[in-house]
């Protein structure tokens, strides 16, 4: 079988592991094993499934130090971010386990006497999960645990850039008591992902990644459906800073939001839409902070910004920055790939671009790198219009001391998540995560709604009257008909 290597993005000569490049036949086998195991799993009471998921939280917490180091090594996230990645998986397991002992549906009063009505949830069978490299433990957890609680079997195809993290996560789940056949992993590139998305034995597909790839996944999945398809496809997230904002707080938010994880989060702050009266001061503050950021090995606790995932990514980011400069923008800081002593990986200097207009390519396309585009806008209505004038709708932030302006922005910004006086990154487990427009297709991950993409609603009626009762017949006849 053909294999591929996963390497440390900071040190590409450090091979994390070698993995099989699976094909459609391997996907067939994985789906068959998961389907066979799913039948017994679905017969377990929901609280019993929840107990296994709770045990997974304990196993993951016990392995946190080891998994954190692996995330830093394979995904290039600095240690504090890698630890947060693992902690999200721990928290998600604990939250989902709690859902195993909460309401599973709703009861509705019947319009007829001696009749009960309620809803419940049913598993879809086997779900296919296609996950990215930038949250290599957290995002699998966001998908796997709700899918398991719903009673499904799971086949996960992780990014080719983070297969070791996925294997370690699955091993922790199996150690906790998840049946080994129930949770399958297939590795490789586009071929196994396409096979999984279109497999006749897969009842739901959940994909996190780019808009172009997500559209292909959805189209292929629905051609061979019916099946549930949930998409989380990135963002072009904006921070609006009004003239009355706390600029120290806004600086903290912009630096963390734009350059955390080297800008490689779907929620990274990509646009700074700032009032002209404070733009110069705020940019100066951000540039000063950026100058003090230390690029380096993500496993070194002193590192602030790690590598971008591949040299190809660095070239793509550089091309977008060069294009912005060609359109009239100015790189106040950064603007180019950089070399880091002791590291052979691809690093890109944290970049702040001024003079950006809303119609510039860099203001409309997802950069997925450490680049912040500054757009000066005075009027709040116009600023909100700039926020909304892109195809993405994941997250946005507004910094102001004016509660009226803040709430007006919250109401009118077209994104799935809005922050006030906080950066565009930082989702919390109990709340739904996802976006509008081309960012998503209506489903949400996390929170109590996370299970919806992996289960089907069933409506139940029980008539104990002992006679025929006709629902949806006119039970309120007109007076002249009586």
Active site residues: 232, 266
Measured CA angle at 58 (ends 177, 87), to 5 deg: 120
3-state secondary structure of 416: coil
Determine whether 381 is exposed, middle or buried from the number of CB atoms within 10 Å of its CB (0-12, 13-18, 19+).
exposed
Q: Of 301, 415, 321, which Cα lies nearest the Cα of 370?
A: 321
Q: Report the alpha-carbon distance of residue 367 to residue 314 in Å, rounded.
A: 10
Q: Report the alpha-carbon distance of residue 124 to residue 454 in Å, rounded.
A: 7
The Cβ-side half-sphere exposure at 33, using a 13 Å CA radius, reads 17
Q: Report the alpha-carbon distance of residue 126 to residue 337 in Å, rounded.
A: 43
Cα separations in angstroms, 277 against 241, 247, 377, 481: 10, 12, 10, 72
- H or E segment and range at residue 459: strand 455-463
Q: What is the dihedral of CA 225, 266, 447, 56, to 10 degrees?
A: 90
Measured CA angle at 6 (ends 164, 319), to 5 deg: 125
3-state secondary structure of 85: helix
Structural tokens at position 206: 């959940």
334 Cβ contact partners less than 8 Å away, ≥ 6 residues apart: 290, 321, 348, 349, 350, 351, 352, 370, 371
């Amino acid at each position: 079988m053909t294999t591929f290597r996963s390497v440390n993005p900071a040190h590409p000569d450090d091979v994390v592991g070698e993995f099989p490049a699976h094909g459609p036949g391997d996907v067939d086998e994985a789906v068959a094993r998961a389907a066979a195991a799913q039948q017994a799993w679905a017969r377990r009471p929901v609280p019993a499934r929840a107990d296994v998921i709770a045990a997974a939280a304990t196993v993951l917490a016990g392995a946190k130090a080891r998994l954190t180091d692996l995330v830093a090594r394979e995904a290039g996230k600095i240690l504090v971010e890698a630890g947060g990645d693992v902690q999200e998986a721990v928290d998600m397991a604990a939250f989902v386990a709690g859902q195993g002992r909460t309401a599973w549906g709703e009861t509705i009063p019947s319009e007829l006497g001696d009749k009960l009505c309620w809803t419940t949830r049913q598993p879809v069978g086997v779900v296919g999960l296609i996950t990215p490299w930038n949250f290599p433990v957290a995002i699998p957890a966001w998908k796997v645990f709700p899918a398991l609680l719903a009673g499904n079997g799971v086949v996960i195809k992780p990014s080719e850039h983070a297969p070791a993290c996925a294997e370690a996560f699955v091993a922790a789940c199996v150690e906790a008591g998840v049946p080994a056949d129930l949770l399958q992993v297939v590795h490789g590139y586009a071929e196994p992902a396409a096979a999984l998305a279109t497999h006749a034995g897969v009842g739901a597909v959940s994909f996190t990644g780019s808009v172009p790839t997500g559209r292909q996944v959805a189209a292929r999945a629905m051609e061979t459906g019916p099946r549930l398809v949930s998409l989380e496809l990135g963002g072009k997230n904006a921070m609006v800073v009004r003239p009355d904002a706390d600029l120290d707080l806004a600086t903290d938010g912009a630096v963390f939001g734009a350059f955390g994880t080297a800008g490689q989060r779907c929620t990274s702050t990509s646009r700074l839409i700032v009032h002209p009266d404070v733009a110069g001061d705020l940019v100066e503050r951000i540039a000063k902070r950026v100058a003090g950021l230390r690029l380096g090995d993500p496993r070194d606790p002193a590192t602030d910004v790690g590598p971008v995932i591949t040299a190809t990514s660095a070239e793509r980011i550089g091309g977008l920055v060069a294009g912005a400069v060609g359109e009239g923008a100015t790189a106040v800081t950064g603007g180019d790939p950089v070399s880091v002593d002791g590291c052979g990986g691809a690093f890109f200097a944290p970049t702040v671009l001024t003079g950006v207009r809303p119609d510039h390519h860099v203001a409309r396309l997802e950069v997925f790198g450490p680049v912040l585009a500054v757009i000066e806008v005075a009027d709040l209505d116009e600023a909100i219009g700039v926020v909304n004038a892109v195809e993405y709708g994941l997250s946005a932030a507004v910094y102001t001391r004016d509660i009226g302006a803040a709430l007006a922005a919250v109401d009118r910004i077209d994104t799935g998540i809005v922050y006030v006086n906080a950066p565009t990154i930082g989702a919390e487990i109990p709340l739904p995560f996802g976006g509008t427009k081309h960012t998503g297709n209506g489903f949400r991950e996390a929170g109590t709604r996370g299970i919806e993409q992996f289960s089907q609603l069933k409506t139940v009626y029980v008539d104990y009257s002992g006679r025929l009762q006709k629902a949806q017949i006119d039970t309120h006849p007109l007076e002249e008909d009586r």
